[in-house]
Structure 1
Amino acid sequence: MTRPKKTGVATLAVRAVRTQQADKPVYAFFVAGADLLKIAEISRVHRDSDGSLHGFQRKGIKSHVQAITDFLDQGPVLFPNAIILAIAPSARFTQSRGEKPEGDARVCEAGTLRIPLPRDGSKCAWIVDGQQRSIALSQARNKSFPVPVVAFVSEELSVHREQFILVNKARPLDPRLINELLPELDTVFPRELSSRKIPSELVNLLHTSRDSPFYGLIKRISEDSSSAVVIDSALIKSIRSSINGALGCLAPHKATAGSPADVDTMYRILKAYWSAVRTVFPEAWGRPATESRLMHSAGIEAMSILMDRVMSRASLEADLFGHATEALSRLAPHCRWTSGRWQELQRDWNEIQNVGKDIKLLSGHLVRLDHMHAFAKVA
């Protein structure tokens, strides 16, 4: 550790190599495992009182951390997994002098990287990948265990989130956390992630917009709210199916080669339909899934399939809420969301589960009821 005379700020000095990617300096170096959490912090995902999303990291998993710690404490072990950091521009790199060796590929340069260690306890680096390993290394008996680190220079939270998602895409990262982070980013993702971004944006709007029937009712991984009763993943899955399905009511508004997706119209359709659901089934709305199968993932998915049928019959210039309310009112006498028995299905209201066969059974019944009553007057 050195103390530069000019600033008086302590630094951690490491031998490093530097290269460039996307106009950003990228460093590779080794540090003692116990020093990782001295220079880098873990940015936990959470929302403030205004509902703004902060951070990106999931909660620590104690069992995972303990398993890594136990492995490290076995004795001499090979543990070459690199930690990925985002590091502030305040870290300074000094290139080594001297001639480069013959045959040098010239893709990087060697030198010394000095990482500030402010006295106030603040940190100039953030862990993008490897939080569990970093915690385990700080708890391991061997505090000098050398850990490989790759660090890119950026203080932008959106860049940290982007890299976090891309690094963890192929790993067992909670899909709900990815879904919640996606709307916060403005970048080009692989196709599989891109197709999830708009449904995630719509669910975010449904949860945070005061004119939405789902306002404050959606369970998200960044919040712990007693009033939230609908799992976000059920809505995201349903919206994605409507956008991608040939007969989905949201499909006409998805992106094409010549125009971007019309998210505003999608939201208008969703708000109108689910506002009608709330109006027609007030006794079942906003209650926990154990008390209302309408709020259960099975009910959300089945009613979303019905939405595609009902809202596809409406013109965008029409009263969408009125149209949906009229259609759902015809079905209401036959629905058993909070008590009773679905006679045609031979199921009690609380026997409907979030499994494929039950969702198919319930949605098929709702669609048949809609067809029967919507066209009852047709000769």
Structure 2
Amino acid sequence: MPPTSQALKRRALRIEQVPELTLYLFTLKAHEILQIADISRVSRDEAGKLIGYQRPEVRSHVNEIVDYLNGPNALFPNPIILALSSAARFTSSRGPNTTDGLARGGDIEIPLPTGDRPKPAWIVDGQQRALALTQATNKGFPVPITAFIADSVSLQRDQFFRINNTKPLPRGLVTELLPEVDTRLPPRLSIKKLPSELCNLLNQNKESPFHGLIRRASSGSKASRSAVVTDTSIIKMLEESLSTGCLFVYRNLTSGEIDSDGLWTALIVYWSAVRDTFPDAWSKPPAKSRLMHGAGIQAMGRLMDRILTTIDPTAADAPAAVRTELARVAPYCHWTSGVWPELGMKWNDIQNLSRHTQQLSSFLIRTYAQSRTPRP
């Protein structure tokens, strides 16, 4: 691509770590970053497919960076990481001193956006810093940039996820992005991929009693009003059951295969029965129903582990059988009003604390077990 007035040209270093991904190191002025780069906000399209990967901006964090940049002797060593479109071009410099065996010098040329041409870059890491730089007084402040070529959103998302893996990303954003990462993940994250996928299905599938009720990082303001259960509550319940509960039997640890049909059927049968058993407490915000609260979801998940050990979810009478079992504890539940006398707490005193969750779980399981014990 020949140099034009519609392209931004900078001196750059090219580093080949792997043949598939070449890194480019160069500098941009503060005001140029958002001139060429977009922030890919995490959201979902009309079909429910996840798009983007960036969390919303944190205004207080941005303001703190702006204050620092406007102060004396501001040092900005951390690079902004960009994914460049394949329209960007690197031209090596000629001569014997343009490479040291590790990096090659040259020029990188990035086409500027026009009316019919979108921005050629996306911010993978450093969106808060980039926003702050555009608001800083010194618009010409030199900013280090690390970039790689990636037209694919999946590759951009994969790099974003790995870069931020050691940083405190919101857990909801992590769990939502996990199913979309199709490259090999670190073991700690791979274990969490199945619960994340199940959480997506429970929220998106119309057959699910949780359809549209799970609040995710990509939920818009309209969806957030109807989504009353946090995805972290669902993920935690699924992780525990898949590790030590009734859902464990659907995993083949040797082959790594999952009985997805059986797993899905078990979840739909049980949680549909929960919805039908407690209709007045279902789909309400946690402030009005502790059934939709983190403690309630996890406690009912532990009760699921007990009930489904005696019922085959694939049996024709399974839905009715689960409702019969839940009816054993229903009279003792106070999700929306009253007092849990055995716990010594009002219904809304239950908080998302491990000791409250444990107390509630123990009570439900103990009550259920006693109801099944034949009286002398």
TM-score range normalised by the length of the shorter chain:
over 0.9
Cα offset, 1:316, TM superposition? 4.9
Which residue identity does 2:167 align to in structure 1?
A: R
SS in 2 for 1:238: helix
The aligned residue for residue 49 of structure 1 is: 46
Which one is further off, 140-149 or 344-353?
344-353
| Equivalent position to 2:305, from 278, 291, 308 | 308
Shift of 1:9: 6.4
Structure 1 residues 98 and 105: CA distance shift in structure 2, 3 A: closer
- How is 1:40-119 mapped onto 2 (pairs within 5 angstroms)? 40-100=37-97, 105-119=100-114
Q: Are the counterparts in 1 of residues 266 and 314 from structure 2 also a CA contact under 8 Å?
A: no
SS of the counterpart of 1:213? Answer: coil
Q: Write the deviation string for residues 83-111 of structure 1: whole angstroms up to 9, x where unpaired.
A: 1110011101111111137xx64122111
Shift in Å at residue 40 of structure 1? 0.7
Return the offset for 1:257. 2.8
Q: Which amino acid aligns with 2:357?
A: I
Equivalent in 279, 291, 294 of residue 291 of structure 2: 294
Match of 1:195 in 2: 191
Cα distance in 2, alignment partners of residues 162 and 229 from structure 1: 29
> Which stretches of structure 1, 4 residues or longer, exceed 4 Å deviation after superposition?
none
Query: What is the distance in 2 between the residues matched to 1:31 and 1:334?
Result: 64
Per the alignment, residue 237 of structure 2 pairs with: 238
SS of the residue corresponding to residue 303 of structure 2 reads helix
* CA positional deviation for 1:22: 4.9
The whole-number CA distance in structure 2 between the counterparts of 1:255 and 1:160 is: 32
Q: Tell me, yes or no, if the aligned pair for 2:14 and 2:23 is still in contact at 8 Å.
A: yes
Report the secondary structure of 1:150's partner residue: strand
CA contact (8 A) 2:212 2:226 kept: yes
User: Contact between 2:30 and 2:142, CA under 8 Å: does it hold in 1?
Assistant: yes
Consecutive unaligned residues of structure 1, counting only runs of 5 or more, are none
Paired residue for 1:147?
Answer: 143
**In 2: Cα distance, 1:255 partner to 1:11 partner:** 54
Given residue 143 of structure 2, which amino acid in structure 1 is its aligned partner?
V
* Whole-Å separation in 2 of the counterparts to 1:108 and 1:316: 59
Aligned to 1:11: 7
Q: Which residue of 1 aligns with 2:260?
A: 263
In structure 2, how many angstroms separate the alpha carbons of the residues matched to 1:123 and 1:48? Answer: 20
Find the aligned partners of 2:30 and 2:80 in 1 and give their Cα distance.
10
Task: Give the Cα separation in 1 of the matches to 2:285 and 2:228.
Answer: 5
Relative to the length of structure 2, the TM-score reads 0.94
What is the rounded CA distance, in whole Å, between the counterparts of 1:117 and 1:51 in structure 2? 32
C-alpha RMSD over aligned residues: 1.8
**Corresponding residue for residue 367 of structure 2:** 369
Q: Give deviations 1:44-103, integer Å, cap 9, x for gaps.
A: 1112333222111111111111111111111332211011110011101111111137xx
Shift of 1:303: 0.5
Asked if the contact 1:83/1:150 (under 8 Å) is kept, the reply is yes
Q: Write the distance in 2 (CA, Å) between the matches of 1:282 and 1:341.
A: 19
Provide the C-alpha distance between the structure 2 equivalents of 1:362 and 1:22, rounded to a whole number of angstroms. 55
Cα deviation for residue 215 of structure 1 reads 0.6
TM-score scaled by length of structure 1: 0.93
Is 1:123 paired with 2:119?
yes
- 1:237 is paired with a residue of what secondary structure? helix
Question: Aligned runs of 1:174-185 on 2, under 5 Å?
Answer: 174-185=170-181
Contact 1:40–1:126 under 8 Å retained in 2: yes
Give the whole-Å Cα distance in 2 for the aligned partners of 1:233 and 1:35: 38
Distance in 2 of aligned mates of 1:258 and 1:122? 45
User: Per-residue displacement from partner, 1:291-342 (whole Å, max 9, x unpaired)?
Assistant: 2111111111110111111112223542432332121012111211122222
Tell me if the contact between 2:43 and 2:51 (Cα under 8 Å) persists in the aligned partners: yes
2:228 matches 1:250: no
Q: How many residues align?
A: 370
2:36, 2:113 within 8 Å by CA — same for their partners in 1?
A: no
Which residue of structure 2 lines up, in the alignment, with residue 205 of structure 1?
A: 201
Amino acid aligned to 1:139:
Q
Q: Distance in 1 between matches of 2:171 and 2:314?
A: 36
Shift of 1:241: 0.9
Offset of residue 374 of structure 1: 2.4
The answer to whether 1:172 aligns with 2:168 is yes
Q: 1:14: how far off?
A: 0.6
* SS of alignment partner, residue 148 of structure 2: strand
Name whichever of 236-245 and 368-377 sits farther off: 368-377
Match of 1:275 in 2: 272
Contact kept, 8 Å, 1:255 with 1:261, in 2: the verdict is: yes
User: Secondary structure of 2:191's partner?
Assistant: helix
Q: How many angstroms apart in 1 are the aligned matches of 2:321 and 2:101?
A: 67
Alpha-carbon distance, 1:13 to partner: 0.3
